[in-house]
Amino acid sequence: MAECVRDNAEEPQLKMHKANGSGDGDGDGGAVEAPRSRFNLGSFRLEKILRGSARDKTVFVHGKVEEDCGDDQDAVIILEKTPFREETLPQLLNKNADLRLQMQNDIYSTHHLHAPSALNEIKTTVVYPATEKHIKKYLQQEMHLINETADDYKNITAPYLQSQSFSIQWVYNILEKKAEADRIIHEHPDPKNGFILIPDFKWNQKQVDDLYAIAIAHRREVKSLRDLTAEHLPMLQTILQEGQMAIFKRYNVPKSSLRIYLHYQPSYYHLHVHFTAVGYDAPGTMVERAHLLSSVIENLQLDPEYYQKQTLTFALKADDPLLQKFKEEGRL
């Protein structure tokens, strides 16, 4: 059978376009027209809803995409209602608004407001082609808490991670400026202590209420919180201080309004730090996953090998193979 060639077979993150690319970090962040997507929704066939959230106004769906050569490829599509923006409210709330009454009781009433199509945007994230790991990642499942000791990490987690192959080439493409270079907010180019600060794909950059940026370390041998020692303090302090300054310079958000943290376990194993607005209920800020960068720095100042010794707690989904490894070792 002839090999099926896809125009858009690059890593999923490389296809995520934003309407206001940020150039080299010194622009004004003004909106520009986004390019038309090469992903054809007409070839997408819905298989099932993986999960959804009425509170967050999001839905995660799994489907199949028919290739030109006749093969079907898996895809995951995430649909999310975008936040309201102050500058567009006059276009919603005016005498021409299509407002339909649903219920009225004394001074209280509820309505359906049918917004103009230009103001009814749905942020759409496409993971294509998606692997089984991607599908499981977004599937609603029962969760279990793991208390991972230092020995657990050495004997269970680390060997399991080494046996897995989950490409992070898209991360290296960002660091090498092969992709998303126009979106960089700030870069410290030093290969040992430097990083690139870039908007997370969850944030459309149209308002700062849900600000979300990621600092990706240039050092490739540091995978997660477990690898950090006092040797990495200059890198962590650089990320903290320069990241705060860059966000204030670009978005006028002070450091007191930022939540800055690492995940353990992370969603991908290359050291990165999350910068989110304090008022934003960002995914992954639960107490069992998020570790404030300021606390990480202080812990390493107190004990250079703190994260090689400390028991760390995290949650795993019911069908996660790592959970099965902990069960096999009698740790649950």
Q: Which residues are catalytic?
A: 272
Strand runs (DSSP E) across the chain, as ranges? 44-53, 58-66, 72-81, 98-105, 108-114, 122-127, 143-148, 186-188, 195-199, 212-217, 258-263, 272-277, 290-292, 312-317
Q: Looking at beta carbons, which pairs linking 87-90 to residues 24 or more positions away fall under 8 Å? A: 88/119
Helices 233-251, 293-302: crossing angle, 10 deg rounding: 160
CA atoms within 13 A on the CB side of 215: 32
Tokens describing residue 54: 């009425």
DSSP 3-state assignment of 323? Answer: helix
Query: What's the CA gap between 246 and 267, in Å, rounded?
Result: 25
